[in-house]
Structure 1
Amino acid sequence: MKYLILIISFCFWSVGAQNMDLFEKGNTLYNEGQYADAIDQYQRLLDNGEHSAEVYFNLANAHYKMNHIAPSIYYYEKALQLKPNDKEIRNNANFARNMTIDAIDTVPEVGFARLFNNIINLMSYNAWAVTAISFVFIFVILFLLYRFASISNQKRVAFVVSGVSLALSFFSLFMAFQKQRLDINDRPAIVFVQESRVKAEPNLRSEEAFRLHEGTKVQVVDTLKNWKKIKLSDGTLGWIQSEDIKLLNNF
């Protein structure tokens, strides 16, 4: 058993060292202007299972330098999934989006829906779940204090705060389920062909609804065989062939 642990530890160390070497080689090649070779090194990192914001960001930068519109936007978006608040990634992603042809308006959320979604997105599903458990723990402690306290003021405060903690635990649990629902329904994708003819129905004989070009971001709302039903940021719906887009949630 001891030797097995040593062997496993050595394998993890070896893979980690190899990945670090690939990352440094990619960075060196990028700094030398050899962007295609740098892409190969970063891609090998992904093939080794190294999915990090830094790898995606550098890979996106290399594609951007070569004017690869769709891949650069795709990997910037992947980096933002892991580090959504990183200003440098956001800035570079905006530069890449400026290369796209399609100008699609965004329908803004207003009123209560916007406020509700902003609150949900304050934390991840796991963070909301941990928060709910934490409030339950606080409730139990305060309820025990209320149960065994001998001073009336202490009992009153413990009762009120324990009630608030229980309410917050239910609220956090509700938000966790809402966040999970949003995450499941969030299926973004990037158009990877130079031009795609989006259909009104999922077949080639159907009427053409509109056209999209590489780098445009869409939301996948349904799948039927080799077709994806997509939704644009302005609410427009259509069917696109699956091979024309690449899903962002696939790691």
Structure 2
Amino acid sequence: MTKSLYPIEMKNLLKHIVYIFVVLIGIGVFAQNKSLFEEANTFYNDGKYAEAIDRYNAILETNQHSAELYYNLGNAHYKLNHIAPSIFYYEKALKLNPNDSDIENNIAFARNMTIDAIEVIPETGFSKFVKNITNGLSFDNWAKVSIAMVFCFVILFLMYYFAYATLTKRLAFLGSLTALFLVCVTLGFAFHKFNIDKKDNPAIVFVQETKVKSDPNLRSEEAFRLHEGTKVQVVDEYKNWSKIQLSDGKTGWLISEDIKLFNDF
């Protein structure tokens, strides 16, 4: 007696139906978001910035993200003199498209509206050199370069192993050593980039003024105050408090609700 294939066929059919349903939903969302984006741009060009922001936010609610969307949101908030939101969305746009000169120019204008003048401690010497090289590529790209170097090492080592001519063996051996050295170097840069990205947890102050405390409680001594639009680095968290660090090296604790992280998409 043979078993029926009907249950298996039904499962496959249901899988195909679900897949088609998901694809159709995706197409529908894409078409809707495109319509909302065009509508928002029309509102923006007509000077109706609040209405444009509503349409852009509606797109964000569908978990659709792009540098163009964040850039336009930043522009709309900037037109309404919303300091923190404009800087916040420009920063998110810049994270997705770090080489866009328009974003860099607009975020510079938005930062001019902030109150806090915080100095940046310049890096010098070897640490600056290493950091500049490390930030030249993303972690994924450094990993790809490492894999390419491993491939070169294998090819050159095989050439050395199977070659008969002395000169060819010597060149292949030196080349394989060089490739092996570059594997180590690029892996080092890859892991260094990973650690930099892991520690990078920026946020924007979203309240008009916040008191930064020396410890994570309201009774502790006030260290300093920050104002809307200031960029900080979150280095630790405790309950409803966040420990922040400024570009000049100052640290302190503030209420987590007073800031908004922009690494989350």
- Which bracket does the TM-score occupy, shorter chain normalised? over 0.9
1:246 corresponds to = 260
Instruction: Find out whether 1:19 has 2:33 as its counterpart.
Output: yes
Structure 1 alignment gaps of length 5 or more: none
Instruction: Find out whether 1:133 has 2:155 as its counterpart.
Output: no
2:245 corresponds to = 231
Q: 2:52 aligns with which of 38, 47, 52?
A: 38
1:91 corresponds to = 105
Write the letter of the residue equivalent to 2:129.
L
Q: TM-score, normalised by structure 1?
A: 0.97
1:55 corresponds to = 69
1:100 corresponds to = 114
Give the C-alpha shift of residue 3 in structure 1: 4.3
Q: 2:161 aligns with which of 140, 147, 150?
A: 147
State which drifts further: 10-19 or 56-65.
10-19
Does the residue aligned with 1:172 lie in a helix, a strand or coil? helix
Aligned length: 251
1:49-105 C-alpha deviation (Å, 9 max, x unpaired):
111100000000000000000000000000000111110000000000000001111
1:64 corresponds to = 78
Instruction: Find out whether 1:207 has 2:221 as its counterpart.
Output: yes
CA distance in 1, matches of 2:225, 2:188: 40
1:116-150 C-alpha deviation (Å, 9 max, x unpaired):
11111011111111111110011111111111112
1:81 corresponds to = 95
CA distance in 1, matches of 2:61, 2:160: 57
CA distance in 1, matches of 2:179, 2:31: 47
CA distance in 1, matches of 2:37, 2:160: 57
Q: 1:109 aligns with which of 119, 123, 132?
A: 123
CA distance in 2, matches of 1:17, 1:122: 36
Instruction: Find out whether 1:194 has 2:208 as its counterpart.
Output: yes
2:173 corresponds to = 159
2:133 corresponds to = 119
Give the C-alpha shift of residue 6 in structure 1: 3.2
Greater C-alpha radius of gyration = 2
2:193 corresponds to = 179
1:201-236 C-alpha deviation (Å, 9 max, x unpaired):
110011111110000000111111111111111111
Does the residue aligned with 1:150 lie in a helix, a strand or coil? coil
Write the letter of the residue equivalent to 1:37.
E
Q: Provide runs of 4+ in structure 1 moved above 6 Å.
A: none
CA distance in 1, matches of 2:249, 2:99: 26
Does the residue aligned with 2:260 lie in a helix, a strand or coil? strand
Does the residue aligned with 1:153 lie in a helix, a strand or coil? helix
**How big is the alpha-carbon RMSD for the aligned residues of Structure 1 and Structure 2?**
1.0
Write the letter of the residue equivalent to 1:139.
F
